[in-house]
Structure 1
Amino acid sequence: MSSAGRTGAEKGVRDVTRGGGSGGTGVDPQQLWLTPDRPRRGRRPGFSRAAIIAAAVALADAEGLDAVTMRRVAAEVGAGVMSLYSYAPDKDTLLELMLDHVSGELPTATPPTGDWRADLKAVAHDQRALMLRHPWLPATLTTRRTLGPNALAFLERALAALRPTGLDGAAKLEVFAQLTSFVAGHVGYELSQAGSARSPERTAAETRYLTTVAADGNHPELAEALAAPGRPLTPEAMFTRFLNRLVDGLDTD
């Protein structure tokens, strides 16, 4: 591969593994995903890596990611902390394992229909459903992702959906990264709104305030926007509208 080809491929990998975000981990993906599931040293414990990951995911789902410590996970599987390190040497590795574990819930066998926009929207809806089931996912995806086997299978589905666009490989990876970043950001907003639900009184007060401001003659654009017909405000309806604008506006030329 030429140096230009390597540069493009490396950029695509960076985009898709970081979801457009910054940061990262020191985890070696080749060592993590291409080595057998067995402890690195000492006597084999009476539990599996799968049991450790499942316990960590259950903790994160119930109490948030801060609750996932090596000590807590060890207690959940009935093991000593040191024996846990033989399967997951640090929390960064454990988080990568958790990410790929829940990625296994994503449907990957759905064949492309040939309508790439519809297929890409289906990918996004599946991602949203997964993130709502695991509320710790959106924030985690922005800083870490090494693409384990389950994540790679879902990526294959997304890339297959984009085949009719004629985009080159790097552009397809960028589109997938852009889509994932959008879904993670929107779900993060949904979760924060649900966690800080406003009272009807607060909502009514804000409506009165904006109505008053819009009527002062200094905000004609706001007045026009507020006079427009209302639209469904359910989380699903809002997500679908925003997603349609994103995907329908993608330029594939």
Structure 2
Amino acid sequence: MPQDGGSGAAGVDPEQLWLRPTEPRRGRRPSFTREAIVLAAVALADAEGLEAVTMRRVAAEVGAGVMSLYSYAPDKETLLELMVDHVSGELTVADPPKGDWQADLKAIAHLQRAHMLRHPWLPAVVATRRVPGPNTLAFLEHALAALRPTGLDGAAKLEIFAQLTAFVAGHVTYEIAQTAVTRSPDRMAAEARYLAAVAADGRHPELAEALAAPVRPLTPEATFTRFLNRLIDGLDTS
């Protein structure tokens, strides 16, 4: 029986999803398309989060009965696969890699960050997607081409891309959470006084030294770039 939920993409058949025609498998031809369903689901997730994406809610958005959606997406996991690949189309890169693999990887990571910030629900699902569709594969192909100058084998290049994507997803999750936290000037001043007192108590010399260091730019973009540079510049390609 079709389901609204699920714990992963293990049950999604990639041949059925990506290689076979997208026409409904049974019943009368509906008045909407698979693309309309996916667009409605993405819009819901962008506006209200993944919790809002249920088969019933998506059906209402496209003006259809729930059962008619199951011809295109038999469960929510399949719908999530379709959503992820649809928005991955935004990651299309027109120009080939420039040949500097570190600079190319950093450019890829900045694209991913902007992409995930546009779709805040993505970081929570990218780690569980196991059925890359055509748009996702196109971006992966670009990333693997960027890593060609390293001379690494295919498995290592796939691992590096997975590591990079996980880093970006984790950072964006933190970034979004921090944006949602509201701190008043009084609260921020109290936090600063507290840390100053802790640093001065003599029991935390490492923290005291760290807090005494020059303050670096704290804009989200600058912070992400610093973390990313440490990750990419420290990659071992031997």
Which interval holds the TM-score relative to the shorter structure?
over 0.9
Cα separation, 2, equivalents of 1:148 and 1:50? 14
Cα separation, 2, equivalents of 1:197 and 1:180? 28
- Residue of structure 1 equivalent to 2:83: 98
- Please give the secondary structure, in 1, of the residue aligned with 2:57: helix
- Residue of structure 1 equivalent to 2:18: 33
- Residue of structure 2 equivalent to 1:119: 104
- Residue of structure 2 equivalent to 1:136: 121
Q: CA RMSD in A?
A: 1.2
C-alpha deviation, 1:117, in angstroms: 0.3
Cα separation, 2, equivalents of 1:252 and 1:109? 27
C-alpha deviation, 1:206, in angstroms: 1.2
Q: Structure 1, residues 45-67: CA drift from partner, whole Å, max 9, x if none?
A: 01110000000000100111000
Cα separation, 1, equivalents of 2:92 and 2:224? 20
Maintained 8 Å contact 1:138/1:187? yes
Any stretches of 5+ residues in structure 2 without a counterpart?
A: 1-6
C-alpha deviation, 1:164, in angstroms: 0.3
- Residue of structure 1 equivalent to 2:206: 221
Instruction: Work out which of the residue numbers 38, 49, 73 in structure 2 matches 1:53.
Output: 38
Q: Structure 1, residues 7-28: CA drift from partner, whole Å, max 9, x if none?
A: xxxxxxxxxxxxxxx9543111
Maintained 8 Å contact 2:9/2:78? no
Cα separation, 2, equivalents of 1:188 and 1:84? 31
Q: Structure 1, residues 209-238: CA drift from partner, whole Å, max 9, x if none?
A: 111111111111111111110001111110
Question: Residues 1-253 of structure 1: matches in 2 within 5 Å?
Answer: 24-253=9-238
Cα separation, 2, equivalents of 1:190 and 1:243? 14
Cα separation, 2, equivalents of 1:75 and 1:36? 25
- Please give the secondary structure, in 2, of the residue aligned with 1:104: helix
Maintained 8 Å contact 2:49/2:121? yes
Question: Residue 241 of structure 1 aligns to which amino acid in structure 2?
Answer: R
Structure number with greater CO (CA < 8 Å, separation at least 6) is 1
Tell me which stretches of 4 or more aligned residues in structure 1 moved more than 4 Å. none
Any stretches of 5+ residues in structure 1 without a counterpart?
A: 1-21
Range with greater deviation from structure 2 (174-183 or 192-201): 192-201
Question: Residue 220 of structure 1 aligns to which amino acid in structure 2?
Answer: P
Cα separation, 2, equivalents of 1:142 and 1:162? 21
